[in-house]
Amino acid sequence: MGIEISADVGGTFTDFVVRDADGRIGLFKSSTTPGRIADGIFAGLTLIATRRGVGLRDLLAGCDSLSIGTTVATNAILEGKAAKTALICTDGFRDTLLIREGGKADTYNIFVDYPEPYIPRYLSFGVAERMNAEGGVETPLDEAAVRAAIAQMKEWNVEAVAVALIWSIANPTHELRIGEILAELWPDVPFSLSHRVSPTLREYRRFSATAIDASLKPVVQRNIAEIETRLATDGFGGILTFVTSNGGRTSTREVLEKPVYLCLSGPSAAPHAGVTLARAEGVADGNVLTIDMGGTSFDVSIATNWETPMHREGLIGGHMFGVPSVDVRTIGAGGGSIARVDAGGFTHAGPESAGARPGPACYGRGGTRPTVTDANLVRGLLDPKGFADGQMELSVDAAATAIKDHVAEPLGVSIEEAACLIALTVEQNMVGAIEDLTIRRGVDPRGYLLVSGGSAAGLHAAAIARELGMRRTLVPDVAGVLSAYGIATGDVRFGFARGLFASSARFDHAAVNAVLAELQAEGTAYLDRMRVPDARRSMVFTAEARYSGQVWQLTLRLPAARIEPGEGLAQLVEAFHVLHEQVYAVRANDPVEFTEWNLLAIGHVARDASEAVRAEPVGRAEPVLRRVFLQEIGGFADIPVFDGAMLQTGVRLTGPALVQTRLTVALVPPGCSAHVTARGGLMIEVG
Amino acid sequence: MAAVIDRFTMVVLRRRFEAAIREMVNALFRSGRSGVLNTAMDFSCCITDANHQAISTALGLPIHVAAIDLISRAVERKFGTDIRPGDCFANNSAYHGNTHCGDFTLSVPIFVDGQLVFHAIARAHLGDMGFPTPTTYSPLSRDLYEEGLMLPCVRIQRDFVDLTDVLDICKANIRAPEQFHGDYLATLAAVRTGERAVQALCAQYGLETVRAFLEQFQTYAEDMAVAAIKRLPAGRVTGEQRHDSEIAAYADGIPVRATLDVDPVDARIVIDLTDNVDNLPLGINLSEATVTAACRVAVLTILGPDVPRATGAFRRIELKLREGSAVGIPRFPAATSTATTNLCHVLNSLVQSLFAGLGDGLGAACSTIGNPASCACVSGTDSRYDGRPFANQILMGYWGGPGVPGHDGWLTFGGAGAQGMLWQSSVEVAEQQQPVLVECLELGVDSGGPGQWEGGPGAHLVYRVRHDPVRFTTNAGGNDFPPFGAGGGQSGGPSKAWAIGRNQERTTLPNSADVTLVAGERLESIACGGGGYGNPLLRDPAAVAHRAREGWISLDRARTTYGVVLDTSGERFRVDDAATQALRSTMAAAE
């Protein structure tokens, strides 16, 4: 058995986790080359090979699997670098991508631009055709209009085509026919059909998912082809997988077919990392809150009883990508979040960010406005010389000047107090994001373990936990590469879906069971392809269900892979009543309607392999003292700074104290205590 | 004098109160039954203190929350000292501080340490509230007695237990009693959630700290408003706009007048509405709640996003209202069922537009007026579901944002009362819930008002009735008097609607239509677009080329209104700079 390598290609850094056959893991970070994910990956692989004292070919020859999380899809959407894509839609609905679903971020702010549609209107072609809600043909397909549209697209050098028709989920015949015409007239163009990409009710979500999917095909094909070629050249013979929006890994085949599933790839693996780490630390109830703080954003996810909820309303750049994704909330709060004071003396931090360029004032790259990183530096919490694995030196003076000019002087407080206020403000925003995911949904976070990811999140984790009434927070040894760790320990999984309307009042067992059988066959073929042994397979069937008269569906787990008349249907209906009561506190007598059938095919990783062990450090960890400004004591204090790598398992620390490793730093605030876990993490008990 | 609260506690408590309101919103959205609640989010939640100061009106529909203090005032006025924990009060009466009778408002007193400290308030627009006709707007009602069930601030719970007599009266008057009961429970869940959250907050921080915070926070809100008003130019501007009239008394339209006084030295804004017409024999009379909210919202949007949407900020805005005026405080028994839309839309936009008279780059044009026919209330029975009855408002194509300095109109704006907060129905969901087929839902070409900053377009929608007859009731506006421009901008396109027979015969529908169509017949609606802001000849030619290429505007409009000459031979339209400059000079000279 060889090594397994996992990579999370982010905007600034590519994080790596290398797992040896004996379960030992190594963590690495290398710079990302914008727009060229293969370069970032190979730079990292070369670095790993060098550190291990082998050549790249030897490293790859001994590598069983390479698993990749990549923001290539997310960034292509955000930066408008996806393919030039056209839309073929039902006549009369060219504006579906423009209208979206309504709503606006800030009611009172009318001085904002309305966003452009994902596909320009002039590249949207309405063709006469129409199905009704029951799948009946109201208007036959005008094939001549389809051919004319294709001719125009060719003339304009369109690179990909999205096909999305009203009610194609009830009857896909017209979409399929358009697909045939495209294949016949324009065999080279990649295209996506909405009922295949995301067979979901509500036209905007389906149209949007399809538009994004089609637009990603060329860029994803290009990148994957490049990675595959270079890997083959360098002697890689293992399995190449990608992390999808559902947090699991899958082969290149599925990703090439439905690249929309690459949305959120990377961050989507963080929830699993949090859960795995919590389990390894002996958390019994499976209630885990995972945060990941980067330079510009702060991601939160939750797992209750080990389950991370999925949803279908994920947005990238305001565009809904529509396919099931782990529910990760993102707000604009990170190290680069800019602080300011308003006319009434209130402090704000973010969502505006200094990004990597110019970056915080302390980077010395021309930034003059104060950021959260500047505030942490001024408070003494960051080592100016040991930042980002020693790759960058920070300027305390620049940070202090920025805070003085923009926060301290306007408020008439000291620079250090202003720095504390900036930190508090950003922490409050983070608390708000966590409350959105917990209290707002009736979940009490106090019974949860907070797992803190991100290089500097450990400076804020205890404060956040305290504000939320959470008792413990874990800063794991892998905090600096959390998503890469989630990839390394994640399952193989992919979803398959069919749209089919059914009602418990007149249930068509034959039709539903036919769909379920199709899904099962697809899932089995998939797990075969992924070489998953039988013992490690799961097939999770769900339906989107609601009471007759409702408009929002709940995701209902099916009790069985077939729904038999009588008892089988009664069980299914009862399962919905129970679910509805759990979520909304009431049950009704109305018939239950089903709009969509889904299968999640899972290949579980071997559990023992995920149990990493740590080599106990030898010798004593001697702390050094550093002057740190602490709001709790209203001034500076000399507090001990420990080298995390030198702390032995079980060592107890009493706050205030700082723990630094190569990639992370954590603060044990006054009144809190902490101990080093068997896996080398820091468990802070919040006082 | 309360202790000064440190900045840290200020930050925390502000967020805590907002979180409590968000919890209320969530409870209502998740469990509401009417489509306008669980799809369009046509409801709002708020918390006021014992002095009726609202802590945050940032969530929910502006027209719902900006004057929500009138609800807790009504409770205090009516029940005085007879208010105790476990009470809940229901109110849909414009004569007791409510917006209009379609909005069902619940409030509960929140007691801490035996004292009444707060009120939790939730306001929900229900699918049916017991109108004589199946709608929740009735623009042609002559008086209150034609507007169905009234709940004039009545107790609906005592000791946390339903007073079933009141609920029985509601259910006896409302078309869909089960749906109503579900919506009642959802609204109740919201106010009780707010009560619990605020009590927990007070227990954690102590009542004295919370009180001191409230005082300091409202002062902060006021300071922010002061700072924003001090940045405005001084001046007085008077204006008049008109709303379509459907009665003989105002054949030339119903005037809406306002005078705006901005005093940056004293940091005060006065809006005088006393010079308006008397109450009309129509449901479009405004209520005290909507006239107040419309003005506050208009001013707050101008003051900018940093000013907290709290009572403290409203202290700097003085309103002069006249009782017995259609644009003022209604005199009993004037009808007010349509008080949240039509005249309300004109008033809010008028006040915003008056700021344009103070100086360049200020104010805003008019947003859409009335609900277009695409947003009809629909009712009937559905043979696909064994004759199941339905009564609902479809919120589709409610667009037409105003052109404002620096920005074109926000597309899915939907009237000044919503300012983009409502959600649009999905075509597929609407077709599943009602036996109609939407044949088209696209923007109306050239419907946005021209300007340097263009108004948002209105929607072009066609409904076809499938198998069962469907009754459509509408409360449109902006036909004779479409949304006006400001600062030199022009008005948006007018709203229009037709019934189309099976033989394609077209019948123009009035603003306030009540029409039943049968299988194969159609209703077509073109909604009015928002007004433009600024002189169209100043619009960036590249933006004109873009909108022309995207089909929002015709080539004719690009040339004759914007003075932009385009080369349309290629994929992208190109501006002919020299020809455009020449054409614009000629046009400017002719102005």
Residue A656 carries which DSSP code? S
Q: At residue B26, what is the residue type?
A: N
Radius of gyration of chain B, Cα coordinates, nearest whole angstrom: 24
What is the pLDDT at residue A272? 92
Task: Give the minimum alpha-carbon distance from A256 to chain B in angstroms, rounded to a whole number.
Answer: 29
Does A565 contact B at CB distance below 8 Å? no
A contact residues 418-477, partner B, Cβ 8 Å cutoff: 421, 424-425, 428, 431-432, 435-436, 439-441, 467
Rounded alpha-carbon distances, angstroms, from residue A97 to A86, A318, A330, A499, A616:
12, 11, 23, 21, 56
The answer as to whether A672 is a domain residue is no
A108–B58 C-beta distance less than 8 A: yes
For A204, nearest residue in chain B (alpha carbons): B426
Residue A567's contacts (CB-CB under 8 Å, 6 or more residues apart) are none
pLDDT at B2: 45
CATH at residue A110: 3.40.50
Q: Two tokens at A189?
A: 């163009």
What one-character-per-residue DSSP string does A411-449 give?
Answer: HT--HHHHHHHHHHHHHHHHHHHHHHHTGGGT--GGGSE
- SS3 state at A38: helix
Does A61 share its domain with A84? no
Q: Which residues sit opposite B567 in a β-bridge?
A: B574
For residue A405, the 8-state DSSP code is I
Contact A110 B364 (CB under 8 A): yes
Say if A147 falls within a structural domain: yes
Minimal CA separation from B528 to chain A, in Å: 16
- Predicted local distance difference test score (pLDDT) of residue B1: 37
Give the residue on A whose Cα is nearest the Cα of B66.
A108
Mean pLDDT, range B105-119, rounded to an integer: 96
A102 touches chain B (CB under 8 A): yes
Q: Which of A102, A343, A584 sits opposite B31 (nearest CB)?
A: A584
We report the CATH number of the domain holding residue A31 as 3.30.420.40
Across residues B461-469, what is the average pLDDT? 97
Q: Which of B213, B426, B553 to mutate to test the interface with A (most CBs of A within 10 A)?
A: B426
Name the average pLDDT for chain A: 90
Residue B359: Cβ within 10 Å count: 12
Amino acid in position B534: G
Note whether A190 and A82 are same-domain residues: yes
Residue linked to tokens 């080093």: A676
- pLDDT at position A585 over 70: no
Query: Which residues pair with residue B260 across a beta bridge?
Result: B237, B271
Residue A428 lies in a domain: no
For residue A608, pLDDT beyond 70: no
- For residue A487, being part of any structural domain is answered with no
Domain closes at, from A54, A70, A86:
A70
- C-alpha to C-alpha distance for A29 and A10, rounded to whole angstroms: 10
Cβ of residue A109 closer than 8 Å to a chain B Cβ: yes
Residue B321 to chain A, least CA–CA distance (Å): 23
Inter-chain CB proximity A421 and B7 less than 8 Å = yes
Closest CB to B428: pick one of A202, A425, A431: A202
* B502-524 mean pLDDT: 97
Q: How many domains does chain A have?
A: 3
Domain membership flag for residue A520:
yes
A630 domain residue, yes or no: no
Q: What is the DSSP string of A148-167?
A: HHHHHHHHTT--EEEEE-TT
Which residues make Cβ contacts (< 8 Å) with residue B341, sequence separation at least 6?
B137, B284, B370, B371, B415, B417, B475, B477
Contact A440 B19 (CB under 8 A): yes
Q: Looking at the domain assignment, is residue A179 inside a domain?
A: yes
Strand partners, B325: B278
Neighbouring C-alpha atoms within 13 Å toward the C-beta of A391: 10
**How far apart, in whole angstroms, are the C-alpha atoms of residue A98 and residue A77?**
16
Q: Are B259 and B300 in contact (CB under 8 A)?
A: no
Q: Are residues A57 and A151 in the same domain?
A: no
Closest CA to A81 of A241, A271, A215, A270: A215
Q: Enter the ipTM.
A: 0.94
Closest chain B residue to the Cα of A590, Cα to Cα: B178
Both A186 and A99 in one domain: the answer is yes
Whether residue A244 lies inside any domain: the answer is: no
Would you state the torsion angle of the CA atoms of residues B580, B586, B590, B591, taken in this order, to the nearest 10 degrees?
Answer: 30
Interface of B with A in 117-156 (CB under 8 A): none
Q: Label residue B240 by pLDDT band (50, 70, 90).
A: very high
Read off the tokens for A106.
Answer: 């800030």
Last residue of a domain, one of A562, A589, A604: A604
pLDDT above 70 for B212: yes
Task: Assess A342–B contact: CB distance below 8 Å, yes or no.
Answer: yes
Residue numbers of the domain that contains A161: 78-220
DSSP alpha helices (H): ranges in A158-242? 173-185, 194-197, 203-233
CA-based angle B134:B137:B141, to the nearest 5? 95
Same domain, A2 and A45: yes
Residue A53 shares a structural domain with residue A187:
no
Computed over every residue of chain B, the mean pLDDT equals 94
One domain, residues A10 and A108: no
**Phi and psi, residue A164, nearest 5°:** -140, 115
Would you say A59 and A42 are in contact if contact means Cβ atoms under 8 Å apart? Answer: no
**Inter-chain contact A99–B26, Cβ cutoff 8 Å?**
no
Would you put residue B452 in left (φ > 0), alpha (ψ -120 to 50) or beta? Answer: alpha
The sheet with strand A191-193 has its strands ordered as A124-127, A85-90, A160-164, A191-193
Q: How far apart (Å, rounded) are the C-alpha atoms in residues B457 and B495?
A: 11
Same domain, A33 and A142: no
Task: Give the mean model confidence (pLDDT) for residues A281-302.
Answer: 90
Residue B85: predicted pLDDT: 97
Distance set, CA A363 to CA A370, A401, A687 (Å)? 11, 13, 34
A590 contacts in chain B (CB < 8 Å): none
* Residue at a domain's end among A191, A220, A249: A220
φ and ψ at residue A156, rounded to 5 degrees? -95, 10
Q: What is the pLDDT of residue A442?
A: 59
Q: Do A94 and A186 sit in the same domain of this protein?
A: yes
**Min Cα–Cα distance to chain B from A565, Å:** 21
Q: Say how far apart CA B459 and CA B425 lie, in whole Å.
A: 13
B58·A107 Cβ contact <8 A? yes
Are residue A48 and residue A111 in the same domain, yes or no? no
- Please, which residues 234-293 of chain B have a Cβ atom closer than 8 Å to chain A? none
Same structural domain, A88 and A203:
yes
- Tens of pLDDT along B383-423? 998 888 888 889 899 999 999 999 999 999 998 988 998 88
Q: How far apart are CA A671 and CA A685, in angstroms?
A: 9
Q: Is B116 helix (H, G, I), strand (E, B) or coil?
A: strand
Q: How far is B143 from chain A (nearest CA, A)?
A: 33
| pLDDT tens profile A111-152 | 999 999 999 999 999 999 999 999 999 999 999 999 999 999
Size of interface A-B (CB pairs under 8 A): 196
Contact A13, A7 (CB under 8 A): no
Asked whether residue A267 carries a pLDDT value surpassing 50, the answer given is yes
pLDDT at B3 over 60: no
Q: How many CB atoms lie within 10 A of CB A649?
A: 13
Lowest mean pLDDT among A374-383, A608-617, B389-398, B499-508: A608-617
> pLDDT-based confidence at A613, cuts 50/70/90?
low
Q: Determine the distance from the C-alpha atom of residue A177 to the mean position of all C-alpha atoms in its chain, rounded to a whole number.
A: 35
Name the phi and psi angles at A453, rounded to 5.
-115, 155
CA distances from B384 to A134, A308, B347, B390 (A): 9, 38, 43, 12
Asked whether residue B30 carries a pLDDT value surpassing 50, the answer given is: yes
- pLDDT tens digits for A354-391? 877 788 999 998 999 999 999 999 999 999 987 766 66
Residue A440's pLDDT is 64
What is the pLDDT, as a whole number, of residue A609? 44
Q: Is the dihedral of CA A121, A127, A128, A130 positive or negative?
A: negative
List of residues 6+ apart from B405 with CB closer than 8 A:
A111, B360, B361, B362, B363, B364, B453, B487, B533, B534
B423 Cβ under 8 Å from any chain A Cβ: yes
> What whole-number distance in Å separates Cα of residue B430 and Cα of residue A685?
52
Residues A106 and A137 in one domain: yes
Q: A581 pLDDT band (50/70/90 cuts)?
A: confident
